[in-house]
Structure 1
Amino acid sequence: MDQTADIPAEPPVSAKPEKARTKPVARPRNAATLIIVDRKGRSSPKVLMGRRHAGLAFMPGKFVFPGGRIEPSDRHMPVAGALSARAEAALSAQVVRPPHHLGRALALAALRETYEETGLILGTRDYGPPDDVPDGPWAAFRDEGVLPDLEAMHLVARAITPPGRPLRFDTRFFSIDRTHVAAEATGIVTPDSELVELVWVSIAQARKLDLPRITDIVLGDLETQISGGFAPHLPIPFYYERRGRGQRELL
């Protein structure tokens, strides 16, 4: 920004100084991501990661967990079970006037985005298909007779994209076990899709991939949760930036 343009060399006494023009800071959008953990018969758990298309504006070519922002339909999808009281409290903490059922909408956004990006439908068939499903991607859950099971989900961390980025998200990282994959659609991951490749890798292997920095950090938080059996007393960190410095608080 050029603050010298159009300023007279000797402004009149009555003239008021121009206010510095500042670029508006993008407001973070509520979003959620899902870490699917495969612990069956393995001494070293594996996680599902996807490589983003190189042509995307946000994190092109990076390996990430599937996820995205809340859509209106996420507020109306029937569910089985509920998030733990600990998760609900953490999801509402450090949020100004949290909307009704914020935690539920975030958890459902993580499940829906995972289906849209990977083809995996996570939930339970124990209660039959949902009766009333919003239009769009949730129809796949009805067709497969699957209800999202929020009780199976654990909150791992929260992170806000630093200021100055063109796209910013207030992201909640959930985890769920691979045993809750109830169905899978084919043809979702292609060379032209948002995620062009899916890999199951150990946490050590994941850290060798081309990751966003926050993803590497959250992998450490995931290790803590796995080793502690996702117990309610385990810390749920919140990452954000203040005055150019990274912050870590516990929710």
Structure 2
Amino acid sequence: MKTVLITGCSSGYGLATARHFHAKGWTVIATMRSPREGLFAPSDRLRILSLDVTDPDSIRAAIEAAGPIDALVNNAGIGVVGAFEATPMAHVRKVFETNTFGTMAMVQAAIPGMRSRGSGVIVNVTSSVTLAPMPLAAAYTASKQAIEGFSGSLAHELGAFGVRAKLVEPGYAPTTRFAENTDIDVADLIPEAYADFAAPIFADFATPALTTSESDVAEAVWLAAQDKTDRLRFPAGPDAVALAQAS
């Protein structure tokens, strides 16, 4: 029986991915900053752990409590939508602390165990904005692009030890709380000078031609974790697949 540790499981992609792996027979360690009841049916193959990917002590404690893991899924992330001109640098750093440095810290903590066992897979969840950068998401896009390059290098670095690195690139999912897990109001990041530019973009967000579901992402993460080839990228959702094919 294999074990997966997944970050950011309180909602959205992380929750769906945890349920998917559990349904496939894996032991699931679902982590989140503030664990809460009622997310999963009771199971002896499921553990919920507290984990803040920006806190080294929290990472260390979670990795120790988890024990040997066969797969690490770095899903935890935060978003920001708005004109970069109006985005405080403190908030840009906050996005990078979770999306970029948090992912890197989790990988660094998981590598020794996987390397010593000569097996394992690391799946880093990024975004389709890495395939086609969109306006009003410059800080978020940059934080995810960094993980794309990081993962490509990591795949080469760890492959010699039998450890695989993969990327899952979800498309746009209206059901996810993209910017709701931050302490900044989107309205504050759209100065008057950007109002006319931003209006049609937000209208497209409201009625997208193609969207990604949480199940699309969960299935893509599952496929990436099973893949034994050198394939690195797994776009998730019809919009992400279309962007990947066009690039």
The alignment's TM-score, normalised by the length of structure 1, stands at: 0.23
Which has a greater percent of helix?
2
Larger radius of gyration: 1
TM-score, structure 2 as length reference: 0.23
